[in-house]
Amino acid sequence: MSLFRPFLSRRPFAGLVASTATFVFGFIALSTGSARAQSTPSLQLVMGNPSGATTSVSNTNNYLMQKPQYSLAYNKSHATPNWVSWHLGPQDLGSAPRNDAFHTDTDLPSGWYRVTNSDYTNSGYDRGHNCPSADRTATSADNYATFAMTNIVPQTADNNQGPWAALEDYCRTLVNSGNDLFIISCPNHYGTTTIAAGKVYVPSYMSKVIVVLPAGSSLSASAVTTSTRIICVDMPNTAGIRANSWKSYRISVDQLEGYTGYDFLSNVSTSVQSVIEARVDNL
């Protein structure tokens, strides 16, 4: 399957303008000094709000939800997040066990359908994390938060347990090397495939972007420079890719923004963005 797809092949999110059709994942790895910030809602959006999501309940398909562990833009029509954004640093990795308690997110507005764990039962899809369970092991409460169904999308086992998992593991190796990551994850390119009797839509692609900064950088968008390493991937959510390397799905941020209409690093200076978003990682 071709790695690149024309923008016109994307299906816009219901309720959003066409230019904000679908979103893909962004990762940003930063190194800091000895002082480590704890996870807070404000820390999760340091690099920006890719779709301009808001907390207005009338913004049903681009609804901003901010938690200490991650922030997300929720799409009521798809019953999945448009994107999930979080910071990952050494302080987030501890010994808390995997909780496995997938649960309905009661933070959704009253009257909205709230996805349940059983909606995925016998669906043929994994309950795929955006913010991974293994990225939140400092406390049991942090790990439990990753099992909220607003952080979950239907993923094929070969995607979720193959290159997607491998990239998640790679990001934690960056953290264990002394770096910090700012991550934005997004399911994208929705068609008509659903589970849960049509309530939950299945994305055709999953994507990420990773920006790596040298040790000693601050936890701020101003730490990103034209020499910053950017990793951007766009993976098909299909069977048959389990053995594929995540590196084979690398594209540029510019390409990803062309597919989605989103601005992934909106808090980074535009002059820096123009350089780093044009490159395709090759390390």
Give pLDDT, residue 217: 82
Give pLDDT, residue 60: 98
> Phi/psi class of residue 79: alpha, beta or left (left: φ > 0; alpha: ψ in -120 to 50)?
left
SS (H, E, C) the chain: CCCCCCHHHCCCCCCCCHHHCCCCCEEEEEECCCCCCCCCHHHHHCCCCCCCCECCCCCCCCEEEECCCCEEEEECCCCEEEEEEEEECHHHCCCCCCCCCCECCCCCCCCCCCCCHHHHCCCCCEEEECCCHHHCCCCHHHHHHCCEHHHEEEECHHHHCCHHHHHHHHHHHHHHCCEEEEEEEEEEEEEEEEECCCCEEEEEEEEEEEEECCCCCCCCHHHCCCCCEEEEEEEECCCCCCCCCHHHHECCHHHHHHHHCCCCCCCCCHHHHHHHCCCCCCC
Give pLDDT, residue 39: 67
What are the structural domain ranges in the chain?
Answer: 7-276
Give pLDDT, residue 173: 96
Give pLDDT, residue 245: 98
Contact 18, 9 (CB under 8 A): no
Contact 25, 210 (CB under 8 A): no
Per-residue pLDDT of the chain (283 residues; tens, 9 = 90+): 333 344 334 433 333 333 333 333 344 444 333 334 456 788 899 999 999 999 999 999 999 999 999 999 999 999 999 999 998 888 899 999 999 999 999 999 999 999 999 999 999 999 999 999 999 999 999 999 999 999 999 999 999 999 999 999 999 999 899 888 888 998 899 999 999 999 999 999 999 988 777 767 888 999 999 998 889 999 999 999 999 999 999 999 999 999 988 999 999 999 999 999 999 999 9
Give pLDDT, residue 215: 67
CB atoms within 10 A of CB 101: 11
Give pLDDT, residue 8: 36
User: Catalytic residues, which ones?
Assistant: 129
Q: In terms of CATH architecture, what is 7-276?
A: 3-Layer(aba) Sandwich (3.40)
